[in-house]
Structure 1
Amino acid sequence: NFKVGELQGQALLDGMAKKKPNGPYNIELFAGSPDDANAQVFFDGAMKVLQPKITDGTLKVVSGQTQFNQAVTQGWKAENAQKRMDTLLAANYTSAPLDGVLSPNDTLARAILTSVKAAGKPNPIVTGQDSEVESVKSIMAGVQYSTINKDTRNLVKDTIEMVQALQKGQTPKVNDTKSYNNGVKVVPANLLPPVIVTKENAAQAYANDPTLSALTK
């Protein structure tokens, strides 16, 4: 999940650079629900990429709301993200352009873009996650910039292989022996790499998913 955040941060930078090669860029930051531990991990991963650019002036968070507790979206609810975006636009972007928004998932991304549209502003670069059907449609239409894909087919395949190895008394294949400490021990894991999906690589990314692949044609 930290890696997902890093990818989202990088996607935000890449998307803005494609649209406007030279900064500085005005951005805003959104995080998930404060009662979901994953939300902090996504945010921290993204900030690992974005904070150096904020520090050197390439990025400007015009609202000044750069802390996790300022960026959270209670309950991961679209209406809460939309309401906060409405407030940010009214307070900070009456004349300044908004170049990008870090969004931790697709539901919030669409809510943010709805707010921007209602304000009559051009679409900023907005990230996402989960490869939701409506967001893939939005990406193909050039509205939402990116999402994250975690191929569940590979997840199922690897899970079956790990269970079979355990049944045979063998050690399952793992690639992480540091990240997951349950308080008693570090639990080895086999982590699957998430992938940034944009309009450019969507057909390739969803080639194994008939539903999403159909949306890229």
Structure 2
Amino acid sequence: MRLARTMSAVAAGAALTLALTACGGEGAGSGSGDGAAGNGDEEVKVGVAMPTQTYERWIQDGNNVKEGLEGLGYTVDLQFANDDIPTQTQQIDAMITAGVDALIVASIDGTALTSQLDAAAAANIPVIAYDRLIRDSENVDFYTTFDNYAVGVAQANALLRGLGVLDADGNETDEKGPFNIELFAGSPDDNNSHFFFNGAMDTLKPYMDSGVVSVPSKQTEFDQVATLRWELETAQSRMEDLLTSTYSGGEELDGVLAPADVLSRGIINALQGAGMGPTLEEGLPVVTGQDAEIANIKLINDGVQSSTIFKDTRLLAEQAVKATESFVNGEEPEANDTETYDNGVKVVPSYLLEVQTVFAEDIAPVLIDAGYYTAEEVESGQTAD
């Protein structure tokens, strides 16, 4: 089974005794380790709340975290909420009532869990925000994620490279355009969406100011380009509307900044439906992405999608497991960022992971050689498990 293969390093790494540095967290579960933390032979129960099973990556995240925790001998309650906020709040309420020793939460809406986190704090249950920052609460003890601003920078640079403005080393070429692009952002209730967009726009702005790239629709503000709940259908519909409203007079669209693979697929559906492509060589605009979902890796391999950002969620799961083990042992997890992620009430101690940009030539060295996908999975666009 593929998940068992990819999580072997997680379970092994998380089982080691860690020499951890203090990160200054003051929420539930920090400090002396009294209360919920497991001791000795006592059973340790961990609640893992994931947003949805609609997208491949969240299934992998949930199962990877579960297997890593079970590798430590913990009992795990893994729940998926189908992108429904009341469902997720009820699931977390039930975990708290059941007396879990720690919570790992990838929130649907980062502002909707205040009462649940208050209840967790009252029960001395540490809360680890997983990939998505939980906002407006002092009771977020730790945050495991990727460098989300860097994701946006990488997406913008990938778009510029796809257009020919940058070469493979990230250096500027002699290409001055002008190129017409359109912008998409993630869900407004996902804190990461803002980091992605800000990183991308800070990178693109000099090229927009110089006229190398332009946005004919004039939709350049986050609120204008956000995609609620990261829905494929919403992205496809907006792209169709943009093609009708802005490009029906023969204007050429050269590229689209798409912040996630699920949106990329919707955008590509709209572009191909309008008669563009079907491949990059045949005139399909450059489309970026994120998450390295297997369906999109096939699109990149087939010359349809230009690039994606690979976030190795095996490593993210490993960090969540390590943080949980630290809290259970009455320690504080190691943080490598204690300044960036202000949730509106406190700066949450965080562990940030690096990301990699994947073009067609990177599929083998970055994904296949690392055991994330097999060549057969890339060819079929489906995972074997």
Could you say whether these structures have the same fold, taking a TM-score greater than 0.5 normalized by the shorter chain as the test? Answer: yes
CA distance in 2, matches of 1:91, 1:142: 27
Task: Check 1:152–1:76 CA distance in 2 against 1; reply closer, same or farther (3 A cut).
Answer: closer
Q: Aligned match of 1:179 in 332, 340, 344? A: 340
What is aligned with 2:48? none
Shift of 1:113: 0.9
TM-score by length of 1: 0.88
Conserved in 2, the CA contact under 8 Å of 1:106 and 1:130? Answer: yes
What is aligned with 1:96? 251
Gaps of 5+ in 2: 1-147, 167-172, 277-282, 380-385
Q: How many residues align?
A: 217
List aligned pairs for 1:76-155, cutoff 5 A.
76-93=230-247, 94-121=249-276, 122-155=283-316
Deviation string for 1:113-157 (max 9, x for gaps)? 111111112311101111111101100001111111111222233
Q: CA RMSD in A?
A: 2.3
CA distance in 1, matches of 2:192, 2:320: 21
CA distance in 2, matches of 1:82, 1:164: 42
Task: Check 1:145–1:161 CA distance in 2 against 1; reply closer, same or farther (3 A cut).
Answer: same
Deviation string for 1:19-42 (max 9, x for gaps)? 994411110001122232222221
* Structure 2 residue identity aligned to 1:103: A
Mean Cα displacement is larger for which, 90-99 or 102-111? 90-99
What is aligned with 2:19? none
Deviation string for 1:69-95 (max 9, x for gaps)? 111223321121111111211222231
Deviation string for 1:148-186 (max 9, x for gaps)? 111122223334444555666666433212112345543
Q: Identity of paired residues, percent?
A: 44
* Structure 2 residue identity aligned to 1:148: I
More helix as a share of residues: 1
State the SS of the aligned residue for 2:357: strand
1:201 to 2:355 alignment: no
Conserved in 2, the CA contact under 8 Å of 1:136 and 1:215? Answer: no
Conserved in 1, the CA contact under 8 Å of 2:165 and 2:176? Answer: no
1:26 to 2:180 alignment: yes
Task: Check 1:2–1:170 CA distance in 2 against 1; reply closer, same or farther (3 A cut).
Answer: same
What is aligned with 1:74? 228
Gaps of 5+ in 1: none
1:61 to 2:215 alignment: yes
1:4 to 2:151 alignment: yes
Conserved in 2, the CA contact under 8 Å of 1:34 and 1:40? Answer: yes
* Structure 2 residue identity aligned to 1:3: A
CA distance in 1, matches of 2:313, 2:371: 9
What is aligned with 2:318? 157
CA distance in 2, matches of 1:36, 1:172: 24
Mean Cα displacement is larger for which, 205-214 or 134-143? 205-214
Task: Check 1:163–1:74 CA distance in 2 against 1; reply closer, same or farther (3 A cut).
Answer: closer
Task: Check 1:168–1:213 CA distance in 2 against 1; reply closer, same or farther (3 A cut).
Answer: farther
Shift of 1:200: 1.3
> Highest Rg: 1 or 2?
2
1:211 to 2:347 alignment: no
1:13 to 2:136 alignment: no
Conserved in 1, the CA contact under 8 Å of 2:341 and 2:347? Answer: yes
